[in-house]
Amino acid sequence: MGKPEFAQQLIALGYQVEDLSDDKLCFNYRVPGGKFIDQELKLGFQVPPDFPLTPPSGPHISPRILPLNPNAPNHPARVAESVFGGEWEYWSRPFPNWATTDRTGKDYMRYIRHLFETQ
């Protein structure tokens, strides 16, 4: 469970996961669609210890690609400082209806793809 399980699922999807401190991990990500298509970014996630029961928060993105706007009501405008550091930004995008999925890394990355496609 937790970060090790999420990391293993991402590795199975072909990502080269970097294990960071505590509950954090990151990996390189080529944006598959939307206005940032083909940009190479780093995605970071804080993974709860009870994953897959609870999905990761995030995503955290580096380098920053959107202006900070922590008071915006929702996607696609809400962007805040990240606990990952100064080169990162945090997109507050809770996964809707996580309990109706298989609760896998594949499901989560499908959602990330959707976020970029609707940005």
Residue with tokens 């080169």: 87
pLDDT of residue 21: 85
Strands 79-81 and 57-62, how do they pair? Answer: unpaired
Q: Domain segments of the chain: what residues?
A: 2-63+95-117
Task: Let me know the angle formed at the C-alpha of 8 by 55 and 90, rounded to the nearest 5 degrees.
Answer: 40
- Average pLDDT (61-74) is 87
Distances (CA, A) of 11 to 19, 65, 66, 109: 12, 25, 27, 12
pLDDT of residue 47: 97
Q: H/E element holding 24? A: strand 24-30
- Average pLDDT (83-94) is 91
- Average pLDDT (36-60) is 95
pTM higher than 0.75? yes
More confident site: 86 or 40 = 40
Per cent of the chain over pLDDT 90 is 77
Please provide the size of the chain in residues.
Answer: 119
Q: How confident is the model at residue 110 (pLDDT cuts 50, 70, 90)?
A: very high
27 vs 80: CA distance, rounded Å? 20
- Average pLDDT (17-46) is 95
- Average pLDDT (29-48) is 96
2-63+95-117, CATH topology level: Ubiquitin Conjugating Enzyme (3.10.110)
